[in-house]
Structures are given as structure tokens and as C-alpha cells.
């Protein structure tokens, strides 16, 4: 019976994934061999000095997946550093990480001598701890594939852009989809392809954590409904600058759709001040703006991975038997 492990603060999202997994377990088509997934919460105790004591189920099945979205990642990475090898000691033979938001992907090169390329090191560490990774819209800019950042044979990068696009087209039919920087082109193009909406991309120059300049593309936006679409909003300054420019250029409305609603500090205040109307996000990061659940994407991806492990496991067994 495969186990889905989560932590108490993400139990609702893990429960949605469990429900989606169970819904797909049609008789005779269950890729996990007919056994339903079980959800268990990893117990945490915080010692007075800040260290964790974790407790997993005392015995685990062969197939185990952790659900852990890696926003506010530093503590969570330590949890996984402890929990992943412990899961193997308790019986897991195949270990997946379902991390709808994958942290540290933006630090993908040394911008000055000596700067740590965090993407590479976090990626290598995750690849050593897990057999498979499923994530959504990882910020891959200078690398082509997720496996280049997290060197696993089973590294799946799903995209929420089509489902976010479908949400947008319901709420703002005929809207212009606008990516706030060049890196957002990949997501805006996917959302446009899925919906037929027009799409364009801005140019951005970043001067600091909260200092960005955004230049609109050469398009007439007067009177148009525009939806800014990006993989994430953190301080919200990128989106706010694009929104302010759109309002100055005469856009009728500016709304925002992002996969990962990090929205740190006064991000939402900045968006409001820039003239943003609605803000929509997926549930990769729990936030008031969550509108689009990811479980319908994550469940089939996890089932595909488990299925392929079982097929390759069976063929390994067969080849051993043939020897």
C-alpha cells in the first residue's frame, strides 16, 4: 500500500492529492497494483534550541512519496534531510518528492566571483535523497530541463500555465496575457496555446531585491483587459511595475495569475497600489489568492512514475530470474 507522507502545515494540499490519487484508482486500472494510497503526517517536535525531532510511521511500504512544497525552504530542507533517509530505513525502496514549488531554482549562475550556484547544489542534494521528483513550473531559465538542475532520471516538471490560462479565459475572456519579463515567455506561450488568447512579453531589468524596471512590449493596450501571468510573485515588484505601466498606457483592467504565490511582506499592497484588480494563483503555496488546484496535475504524474517503477522493477526481476 503506497504511502503519501506530509507535514501538518500542508495537510490540506496533501489531502487533495490523496483524493485525486484515489479518484484515479479505477478498478483494473490502478497503477499502484490495486492498493489505495494512504496519507500519514510526519510528527514534528521542536526542541527549545530549535532542533527538530521527527517521527514517521514505524514501518513504511516499498513506495513512498513525500508532499513538501518548498516555499520558505530552509527549514523544510533540513526536515527532508532527516526524513528521506529515515524513510528508507523504515522500509521505503522507492522515494518520491512531490514539491509543487521548488526552491533555489533562480540562483542558477554565479553573478559575481565566489557566489554559490544554489540551484546546482540543492539539485544535487535532492537527487541524492530521492529517486524521483515532481514539481510545477520550476524556474528553469539557463538550463533546458529539470534533470539538468536536479540530476534524476525521473524528474518531472509539470506546467500550470494551461490551467491558469483556462482560469483566465473564464474570468477575462479575450484578455491579453502579458509576461512581465523575458523568462516568463515559456509560461505565457503555453497559456496562450491552450486558450487562444493573445500573448506578449515585457523586458525587465533588476537592480535589487525590490528594485526592477519593466518595459512594456510595443502593443496598444488602451481599453484592454490584461492579465499578467508569471511563474511566481515574491516581493510583487515585478508584477507591480508591469501593472503600473499598463495602467499608464490605458489598460482597462489589470489582473494577475501566478503559479507560485510567494507574496512576501507588503507584496499585495504594492500590487493594489499599482492598480491590480484580482490576483489568482495555484495552490502550490497556500495563499488567499489560491484559485486553481494542482492535485489533478500531480496525481497522474505520480501514478505515471510509480507505474514506470513497477514495470522496470518487474523487468529487473524477470531478468534476474532468467540468469
x/- map, 76-115, ligand R5P, by CB under 6 A: ----------------------------------------
Q: What CA–CA distance (Å, rounded) separates 93 from 317?
A: 15
* 323 assigned to active site: no
Question: DSSP 3-state assignment of 82?
Answer: helix
Among candidate residues 274, 233, 288, the one with its CA nearest the CA of residue 257: 233
Q: What CA–CA distance (Å, rounded) separates 283 from 188?
A: 19
| Among 71, 172, 204, 237, the one annotated catalytic | 204
Stretch of residues binding ligand R5P (CB under 6 A), selected from 39-47, 78-86, 180-188, 242-250: 180-188
* Shortest spacing between CB 210 and ligand R5P, in angstroms: 7
Q: What CA–CA distance (Å, rounded) separates 320 from 323?
A: 5
φ, ψ at 197 (rounded to 5°) = -70, 155
Cβ partners under 8 Å of residue 260, min gap 6: 71, 100, 101, 136, 137, 231, 232, 233, 281, 282, 284, 285
* Shortest spacing between CB 243 and ligand R5P, in angstroms: 12
Query: By CB under 6 A, is residue 237 in contact with ligand R5P?
Result: yes
Query: By CB under 6 A, is residue 238 in contact with ligand R5P?
Result: yes
- Residues touching ligand R5P, count (CB under 6 A): 15
* Shortest spacing between CB 208 and ligand R5P, in angstroms: 10
x/- map, 217-236, ligand R5P, by CB under 6 A: -------------xxxxxxx
Contact residues: ligand R5P, CB under 6 A: 139, 180-181, 183-184, 212, 230-238
Catalytic site positions: 204
Amino acid at each position: 500500500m503506497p504511502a503519501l507522507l506530509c507535514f501538518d502545515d500542508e495537510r490540506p494540499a496533501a489531502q487533495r492529492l490523496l483524493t485525486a490519487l484515489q479518484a484515479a484508482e479505477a478498478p483494473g486500472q490502478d497503477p499502484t497494483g490495486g492498493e489505495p494510497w494512504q496519507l500519514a503526517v510526519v510528527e514534528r517536535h521542536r526542541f527549545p534550541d530549535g532542533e527538530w525531532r521527527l517521527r514517521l510511521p514505524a514501518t513504511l511500504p516499498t513506495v513512498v512519496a513525500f508532499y513538501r512544497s518548498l516555499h520558505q525552504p530552509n527549514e523544510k530542507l533540513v526536515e527532508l534531510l532527516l526524513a528521506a533517509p529515515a524513510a528508507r530505513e523504515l522500509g521505503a525502496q522507492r522515494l518520491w518528492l512531490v514539491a509543487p514549488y521548488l526552491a533555489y531554482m533562480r540562483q542558477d549562475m554565479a553573478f559575481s566571483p565566489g557566489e554559490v550556484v544554489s540551484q546546482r547544489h540543492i539539485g544535487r542534494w535532492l537527487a541524492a535523497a530521492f529517486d524521483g521528483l515532481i514539481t510545477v513550473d520550476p524556474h528553469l531559465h539557463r538550463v533546458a530541463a529539470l534533470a539538468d538542475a536536479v540530476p534524476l532520471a525521473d524528474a518531472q516538471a509539470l506546467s500550470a500555465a494551461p490551467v491558469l490560462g483556462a482560469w483566465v479565459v473564464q474570468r477575462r475572456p479575450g484578455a491579453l496575457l502579458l509576461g512581465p519579463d523575458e523568462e516568463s515567455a515559456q509560461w505565457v506561450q503555453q497559456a496562450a496555446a491552450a486558450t487562444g488568447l493573445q500573448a506578449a512579453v515585457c523586458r525587465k531589468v533588476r537592480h535589487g531585491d525590490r528594485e526592477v524596471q519593466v518595459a512594456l512590449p510595443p502593443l496598444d493596450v488602451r481599453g484592454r483587459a490584461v492579465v499578467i501571468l508569471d511563474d511566481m510573485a515574491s516581493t510583487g515588484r515585478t508584477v507591480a511595475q508591469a501593472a503600473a505601466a499598463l495602467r499608464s498606457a490605458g489598460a482597462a483592467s489589470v489582473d494577475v495569475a501566478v503559479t507560485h504565490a510567494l507574496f512576501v511582506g507588503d507584496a499585495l499592497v504594492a500590487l493594489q497600489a499599482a492598480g491590480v484588480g484580482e490576483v489568482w494563483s495555484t495552490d502550490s503555496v497556500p495563499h488567499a489568492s489560491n484559485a486553481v488546484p494542482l492535485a489533478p496535475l500531480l496525481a497522474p504524474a505520480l501514478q505515471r512514475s510509480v507505474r514506470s517503477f513497477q514495470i522496470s522493477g518487474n523487468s529487473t526481476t524477470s531478468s534476474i530470474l532468467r540468469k
